[in-house]
Structure 1
Amino acid sequence: MKGQKGFVLAHRFAWHGVSLRHLLQRIVRWHELRRERIMLAGMSDEALKDIGLSRADVERETVRPFWDDPMHK
């Protein structure tokens, strides 16, 4: 059928109800979390104080697994 190729390809990559697009979005989000946690760990104590965080808060955040998203995005 004409115009069905995209549907067939999308269906082929679906895995247990998770589309390829959703999986790629999740991987991108995990990468963002990793990058943000690295940046947070590199902030000075003065900068952390400005945003209301302590070094202990940063330590708790940076040891979280990459898939642990506090915003549930």
Structure 2
Amino acid sequence: MTRAVTMNSDALTVLNTARSLPLLAVVSIKFAACVTKWVTRRQTRLALDQLEAWQLDDLGLTPAAAYDEARKVFWKA
């Protein structure tokens, strides 16, 4: 199983406000954060699609709601 490494908001704030970083570095960091979010959404939705009805019930989701969420494209929240 793979795990995405996440940065807390304090770390991103420091990176975004540091004057020593060139513009390309700031853009690259923001792009990497965006791609990481997309990958996490995709993996989560794939896992959600594999859950059984009793597991969905434990999460408080109906099979229809899980189906709708699993079918969303990765760039939509």
TM normalised by structure 2 equals 0.67
Q: Which has a greater percent of helix?
A: 2
Q: Aligned letter for 1:65?
A: V
Gaps of 5+ in 1: 1-5
SS in 2 for 1:64: coil
**2:13 counterpart residue number:** none
Confirm whether residue 64 of structure 1 aligns to residue 66 of structure 2: no
Residue 55 of structure 1 is matched in structure 2 by 63
Aligned residues: 58
1:30 aligns with 2:38: yes
Identity of aligned residues (%): 24
State the 4+ residue runs in structure 1 displaced beyond 4 angstroms: none
1:11-60 CA-to-partner distances (Å, cap 9, x unmatched) read: 2x27xxx7110010000110000000011111110010111111100111
RMSD of Structure 2 on Structure 1 (CA): 1.7
- Larger-Rg structure: 1
